[in-house]
């Protein structure tokens, strides 16, 4: 990695953040970047990152890269890009090896340089409301008209540009120019430039112009003299690949095989490898709207540096091994209990205090400092009382081999000790087992706590107790507190108590009662440590750290939650500290706004002020609408006449915890309800009626209750001439004229043909009724077509989005669930490839007819996509009988093109029973489980079915396992009852014989 100055994240006065302290993340071609080199980086006003590579342009939202190249953007015929820049009008300027391109909205425009060719574009800067281009000369471009002016064409290639206050510096190979605030250009003759060197980079750093050349780094004096820049007293004489000054006062200098971080005139860190393996080759840098640093490398793609006030301190800071369990505050430092004894943590370093026979066991599991300043150390195998200078006061032979979970001191000076083998009390002379005297239902005491009123709180593996005035009170009125495993106690400044559990979240006192925030709204179901900070409760758990506003911890109040550390899911161990572990007393401590937490990778230290500042709200962005592969990015777009199908794409640029984003969308004027989505970031609509619509998108983080303000995209679906309002007016006017004529005729012939005229009026009235009925029927057919698959005549996915709530509500009223059955035609791709899509379409139609014959009218058949179908079957029938009957019908069908088919079509099916009364179980989880059962049927030999049904004793987080675990892992978990075709069941039994990794 290279040399690094000491850094203490707990020191709030220390502002310089070394490179190695940032949370680092890399993206490259494995993440769909167009090329491994990232040569320039910028960010637009909506938050997207734009990266120029030597294989094209790409845009990044934190989740995926969208690439632009000559295939979809003819203007990008040259894929070898040099630089990108976003101006104040949110236009993207792109420089390549042979020209300039401007992206304005969705259009890519090439400014006209006349008979001149700009050549290789090295840099782009906005100055005095104009865009300056460093190319084979110096050019300026009007931001609006894109008119080009040539400023300097006689001194060869312009290599770099840099703004410095009201001046713009222009670098040539061996000279400089400057443009003042009035736009006047002046050439400067340099002194002191080393021979055979070329200027390649410029930047303004702390008020002076720093010049990067092929022979090192220099500063420009007021007299035009180039002098070597000295950092930590030494010059840098390597060829410079990058110069960048960030907002935190750092100067980043990249040479071909190292990155140097400067603060002031001191070298903070020198980086000579990435991930301790390969040489860095950074060539560009950028600081985004959130203060994250981005580096582009020729060999490692795109790197992001994020700092949120958190860091792990472990072996490299002095620990013998990294397992940490407990803390106690002592004067100007923190005591730390680890697997290897008792340590002192101060100024970012550990000092070993005790790991000899003074401890009953070297695993220090809990710590406590009593009112006399003595230290109580609880280990995995006993307890000891030490003086403040770590000498033994008292040992407890009767606690030998007992894991000690916590200590507390009551007003009488007694020390209460929670162990796995009971609750003990030490009065200074005698140790007594209180579990027997108090008749606790469990000897496994996990936590003890003394509140401000002197009451003793006891947490066991089977519930909580309060001991006051010689009386033990169990929380029999609260089922959870009376039975669940208690992990932690604490008291707020307003005297309210917090009780944490290992399985049910936590409870807080509210108006004399206990309020439980909904566990499905919390980021985790367990609480290991909690502390009050700045109006919030900060909670650590096995999945990370979050804060919840105390004002929101009340009944009928939406929870206001922000995740500070996410150590669960796809970004765990990649984008933050590892946290947290342990349960019981002292599994964290808060000291001077710094949170210390135990982890398996040392001490997790979080500067809460900086961590909270780093949390940003997601903002939804509608990227545009796609019609026949054509993008419409501007709101207010009108569809081409006759086009009624649209796809809306949306996102939310977020570069930390992007996978935790949740979206929902709504087409105002068409949809009845919002449609929620997790990973899918697009909405499909087919056969839209004519009219004006508003497509709305909202987003939130998964732990939040409130949705963001919606982003709106206006769209118009034009009507045919006969659907337009003016034609309706014409029809009405014609009708009025006809009626008026009839009235006049009736008046002239009233006496002669009264009866005949009355008959004519009646006939016209009937015709009008018939026309209205036909119009209503046509509208109904249009609505039905939007929910129907055009090939098979079955319902499409849109039908399910619209009616799934009604289907589930009906199932709930009937007090019976539904069977979710996913069917996939076996070897369909081979059939398509060998015989063509027309034969494949005939097979799909025939397969759909079989499903119609076998399924009742009350059930639902959906073409799920391609050769995949979904049946929602009322649970009033035997699913086994239905599936066997369906498989038999498929096997005995006389298929079209039968003599040409390579094999007779069959299908594989997965089944899951969905009951709407299940807690924390969404019908989409049943779909996922049915899909994985179908996969197992495929694996088991195809032409069969498998029913996977969760057992009654499955864990509460099964829905997460169903989403993330493989089908084989779920099968081997033994949490499911299985039923299916004989050969499929045989295959499942063989799979269960092997434990998946």
Among 3-12, 69-78, 296-305, which stretch is predicted with the lowest mean pLDDT? 3-12
pLDDT, residue 732, reads 85
Confidence class of residue 997 from pLDDT cuts 50, 70 and 90?
very low
Catalogue the E-assigned strands of 20-135: 23-27, 38-43, 49-53, 56-60, 65-68, 81-86, 92-96, 100-104, 107-109, 123-127, 130-134
pLDDT (tens digit per residue) in 169-190: 999 988 999 999 998 999 888 8
CA angle in degrees (0–180, nearest 5) for 663-666-669: 175
Using CA atoms in the order 327, 329, 333, 334, what is the torsion angle rounded to 10 degrees?
A: 0
Identify whether the C-beta of residue 615 lies closer than 8 Å to the C-beta of residue 545. Answer: no
> Residues of the chain with pLDDT > 90: what percent?
69
Confidence class of residue 969 from pLDDT cuts 50, 70 and 90?
confident
Q: Residues 568-604, buried b or exposed e (16+ Cβ, 10 A)? A: beebeeebbbbbbbbbbbbbbbbeeebbbbbbbbbbb
Which tokens in the block code for residue 638? 């009108």
What is the distance, to the nearest Å, from the Cα of residue 843 to the centroid of all Cα atoms in its chain? 41
Stretch (H or E) spanning 450: strand 445-450
Q: Give the β-pairing of 333-338 and 324-330.
A: antiparallel
Question: Taking all residues of the chain, what is their mean pLDDT, rounded to a whole number?
Answer: 90
pLDDT (tens digit per residue) in 550-576: 999 999 999 999 999 998 877 777 788
pLDDT (tens digit per residue) in 461-501: 999 999 998 899 999 899 999 999 999 999 999 999 999 99
pLDDT, residue 779, reads 62
pLDDT (tens digit per residue) in 606-627: 999 988 877 888 999 999 999 9
Mean pLDDT of 223-229: 89
- Residue 93, class by beta-carbon neighbours within 10 Å (0-12 exposed, 13-18 middle, 19+ buried)? buried
Q: Residues 740-749, buried b or exposed e (16+ Cβ, 10 A)? A: eeeeeebeee
Confidence class of residue 813 from pLDDT cuts 50, 70 and 90?
confident
pLDDT, residue 996, reads 41
> Residues of the chain with pLDDT > 70: what percent?
95
Mean pLDDT of 830-840: 90
State the residue for tokens 């129907």.
788
pLDDT, residue 2, reads 42
Per-residue three-class SS string for 800-864: HHHHHHHHHHHHHHCCCCEEEEEEEECCHHHHHHHHCHHHHHHHHHHHHHHHHHHCCCCCEEEEE
Angstrom distance (rounded) from CA 221 to CA 830:
73
Interaxial angle between packed helices 828-835 and 837-854, expressed in degrees from 0 to 180 and rounded to the nearest 10: 140
pLDDT at 884 over 70: yes
pLDDT, residue 754, reads 66
Identify whether the C-beta of residue 111 lies closer than 8 Å to the C-beta of residue 100. Answer: yes
Among 73-77, 399-403, 560-564, 861-865, which stretch is predicted with the lowest mean pLDDT? 73-77
Mean pLDDT of 45-72: 94
Angstrom distance (rounded) from CA 16 to CA 886:
69
DSSP string, 60-78: E-SS-EEEE-TTT-GGG--
pLDDT, residue 4, reads 43
pLDDT (tens digit per residue) in 619-653: 999 999 999 888 898 899 999 998 999 999 999 99
Confidence class of residue 995 from pLDDT cuts 50, 70 and 90?
very low
Question: pTM for this one?
Answer: 0.72
pLDDT (tens digit per residue) in 663-710: 999 999 999 999 999 889 999 999 999 999 999 999 999 988 899 999
- Omega of the bond leading into 580 within 30 degrees of 0 (cis): yes
pLDDT, residue 784, reads 72
pLDDT, residue 12, reads 47
DSSP string, 520-539: GGSS-S--SEEEEETTEEEE
Mean pLDDT of 22-38: 94
pLDDT, residue 6, reads 46
> How many other β-carbons are positioned within 10 Å of the β-carbon of residue 726?
8
Which tokens in the block code for residue 74? 């003819």
Q: Which residues contact 78 (CB under 8 A, 6 or more apart)?
A: 96, 97, 98, 99
Identify whether the C-beta of residue 300 lies closer than 8 Å to the C-beta of residue 36. Answer: yes
Q: What is the DSSP letter of 708?
A: P
pLDDT at 923 over 70: yes
Identify whether the C-beta of residue 561 lies closer than 8 Å to the C-beta of residue 553. Answer: no
Angstrom distance (rounded) from CA 957 to CA 750:
84
Q: Which residues contact 191 (CB under 8 A, 6 or more apart)?
A: 223, 224, 225, 226
More confident residue, 997 or 933: 933
Confidence class of residue 776 from pLDDT cuts 50, 70 and 90?
low
Identify whether the C-beta of residue 269 lies closer than 8 Å to the C-beta of residue 261. Answer: yes
More confident residue, 415 or 98: 415
DSSP string, 128-188: TTEEEEESSSEEEEETTT--EEEEE-SS--EEEEEEETTEEEEEESS-EEEE-TT--EEEE
């Amino acid at each position: 990695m290279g040399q690094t100055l000491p850094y203490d994240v707990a020191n709030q006065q220390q502002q310089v953040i070394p490179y190695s302290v940032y949370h680092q993340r890399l993206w490259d071609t494995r993440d769909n970047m167009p090329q491994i080199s990232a040569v320039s980086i910028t960010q637009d006003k909506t938050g997207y990152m734009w990266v120029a590579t030597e294989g094209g342009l790409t845009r990044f939202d934190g989740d995926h890269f969208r690439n632009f190249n000559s295939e979809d953007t003819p203007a990008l015929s040259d894929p070898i890009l040099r630089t990108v820049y976003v101006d104040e009008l949110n236009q993207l300027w792109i420089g390549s090896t042979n020209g300039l391109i401007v992206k304005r909205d969705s259009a890519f425009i090439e400014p006209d340089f006349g008979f001149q060719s700009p050549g290789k574009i090295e840099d782009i800067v906005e100055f005095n409301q104009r865009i300056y281009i460093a190319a084979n000369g110096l050019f300026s471009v009007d931001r609006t008209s894109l008119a080009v002016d040539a400023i300097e064409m006689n001194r060869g290639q312009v290599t770099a540009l840099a703004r410095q206050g009201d001046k713009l510096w222009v670098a040539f190979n061996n000279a400089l120019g400057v443009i003042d605030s009035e736009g006047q250009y002046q050439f400067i003759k340099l002194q002191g430039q080393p021979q055979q060197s070329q200027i390649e980079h410029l930047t303004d750093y702390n008020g002076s112009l720093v010049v990067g050349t092929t022979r090192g780094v220099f500063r420009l004096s007021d007299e035009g003299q180039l002098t070597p820049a000295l950092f930590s007293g030494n010059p840098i004489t390597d060829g410079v690949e990058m110069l960048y000054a960030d907002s935190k006062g750092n100067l980043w200098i990249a040479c071909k095989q190292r990155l140097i971080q400067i603060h002031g005139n001191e070298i903070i860190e020198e980086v000579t490898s990435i991930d301790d393996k390969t040489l860095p080759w950074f060539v560009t840098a950028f600081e985004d709207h959130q203060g994250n640093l981005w580096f582009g490398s020729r060999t490692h793609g795109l790197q992001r540096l994020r700092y949120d006030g958190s860091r792990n301190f472990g072996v490299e800071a002095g620990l013998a091994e990294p397992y940490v369990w407990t803390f106690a505050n002592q004067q100007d430092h923190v005591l730390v209990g680890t697997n290897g004894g008792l340590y002192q943590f101060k100024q970012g370093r550990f000092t070993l205090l005790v790991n000899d026979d003074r401890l009953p066991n070297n695993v220090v599991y809990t710590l406590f400092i009593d009112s006399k300043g003595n230290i109580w150390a609880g280990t995995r195998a006993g307890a000891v009382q030490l003086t403040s200078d770590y000498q033994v006061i008292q040992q407890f032979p009767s606690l030998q081999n007992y894991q000690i979970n916590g200590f507390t001191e009551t007003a009488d000076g007694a020390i209460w000790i929670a162990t796995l083998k009971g609750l003990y009390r030490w009065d200074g002379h005698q140790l007594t087992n209180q579990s027997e005297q108090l008749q606790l239902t469990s000897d496994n005491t996990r936590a003890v706590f003394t509140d401000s009123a002197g009451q003793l709180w006891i947490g066991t593996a089977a519930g909580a107790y309060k001991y006051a005035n010689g009386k033990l009170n169990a929380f029999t009125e609260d089922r959870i507190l009376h039975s669940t495993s208690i992990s932690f106690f604490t008291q707020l400044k307003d005297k309210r108590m917090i009780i944490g559990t290992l399985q049910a979240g936590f409870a807080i006192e509210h108006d004399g009662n206990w309020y439980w925030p909904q566990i499905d709204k919390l980021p985790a179901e367990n609480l290991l440590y909690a502390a009050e900070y700045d109006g919030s409760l900060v909670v650590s758990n096995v999945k990370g750290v979050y804060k919840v506003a105390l004002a929101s911890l009340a009944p009928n109040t939406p929870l206001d939650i922000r995740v500070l550390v996410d150590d669960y899911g796809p970004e765990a161990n990649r984008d933050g500290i590892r946290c947290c572990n342990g349960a019981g007393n002292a599994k964290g401590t808060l000291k001077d706004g710094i949170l210390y937490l135990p982890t398996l990778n040392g001490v997790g230290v979080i500067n809460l002020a900086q961590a909270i500042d780093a949390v940003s709200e997601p903002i939804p962005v509608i990227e545009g609408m796609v019609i026949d592969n054509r993008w419409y990015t501007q709101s207010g777009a009108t569809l081409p006449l006759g086009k009624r199908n649209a796809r809306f794409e949306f996102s939310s640029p977020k570069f930390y915890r992007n996978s935790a984003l949740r979206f929902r969308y709504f087409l105002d004027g068409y949809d009845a309800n919002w449609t929620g989505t997790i990973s899918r970031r697009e909405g499909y609509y087919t056969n839209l009626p004519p009219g004006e619509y508003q497509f709305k998108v909202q987003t939130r983080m998964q732990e939040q209750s409130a949705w963001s303000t919606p982003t709106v995209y206006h769209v118009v679906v034009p009507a045919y001439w006969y659907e337009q309002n003016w034609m309706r007016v014409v029809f009405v006017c014609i009708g009025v004229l006809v009626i008026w004529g009839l009235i006049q005729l009736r008046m002239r012939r009233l006496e002669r043909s009264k009866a005949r005229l009355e008959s004519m009026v009646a006939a016209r009235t009937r015709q009008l009724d018939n026309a209205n009925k036909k119009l209503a029927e046509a509208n109904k057919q249009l609505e039905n077509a939007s929910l129907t698959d055009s090939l098979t005549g079955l319902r499409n996915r849109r039908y399910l989005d619209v009616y799934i709530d009604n289907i589930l509500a009906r199932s709930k009223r009937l007090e019976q669930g539904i069977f979710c059955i996913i069917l996939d035609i076996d070897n369909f791709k081979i059939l398509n490839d060998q015989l063509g899509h027309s034969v494949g379409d005939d097979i799909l139609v025939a397969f759909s007819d079989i499903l119609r014959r076998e399924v009742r009218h009350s059930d639902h058949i959906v073409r799920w996509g391609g050769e995949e179908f979904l049946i929602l079957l009322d649970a009033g029938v035997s699913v086994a009988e239905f599936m066997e009957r369906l498989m038999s019908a498929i096997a005995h069908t006389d298929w079209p093109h039968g003599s040409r088919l390579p094999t007779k079509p069959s299908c594989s099916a997965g089944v899951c029973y969905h009951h709407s009364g299940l807690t924390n179980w969404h019908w989409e989880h049943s779909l996922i489980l049915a899909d994985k059962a179908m996969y197992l049927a495929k694996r088991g030999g195809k032409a069969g079915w498998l029913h996977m049904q969760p057992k009654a004793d499955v864990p509460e987080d099964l829905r997460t396992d169903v989403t993330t675990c493989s089908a084989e892992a779920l099968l081997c978990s033994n949490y499911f009852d299985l039923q299916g075709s004989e050969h499929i069941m045989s295959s499942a039994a063989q799979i269960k014989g092997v434990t998946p990794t």
